[in-house]
Amino acid sequence: MSISNLIDSLKKGVVTIVFEKIDTKEIRSMPCTLNKEIANIKNTVANQSPKCSTIVMWALDKKAWRDVRVDTIIEWYEGKVKV
């Protein structure tokens, strides 16, 4: 899983991240982005290193910034949650 590709995809559009929540161990699917036009926000996180242990992104369903630990990500894909 390439974190660089994930960050690039987040900057371009909507990405769904499937990860395990640290506190409850629940599996969560979260549609998110780093594209300020899609998120309808004024600012975004400019640069994130693929070497960091967490990625900050805008959660579209919560309308808030969220950070996800890279080691909890199970999968990710472009677009919204699969039905």
pTM to 2 decimals? 0.86
pLDDT of residue 48: 83
Q: What is the pLDDT of residues 57-68, one digit of tens each?
A: 999 999 999 999
Q: Which of 77, 83, 61, 72 is nearest to 19 (CA)?
A: 72
pLDDT at 44 over 80: no
Q: CA 80, CA 59: separation in Å to the nearest integer?
A: 11
pLDDT of residue 82: 60
Q: Give the start-to-end residue ranges of the domains of the chain.
A: 3-78
pLDDT at 42 over 60: yes
81 pLDDT band, cuts 50/70/90, is low
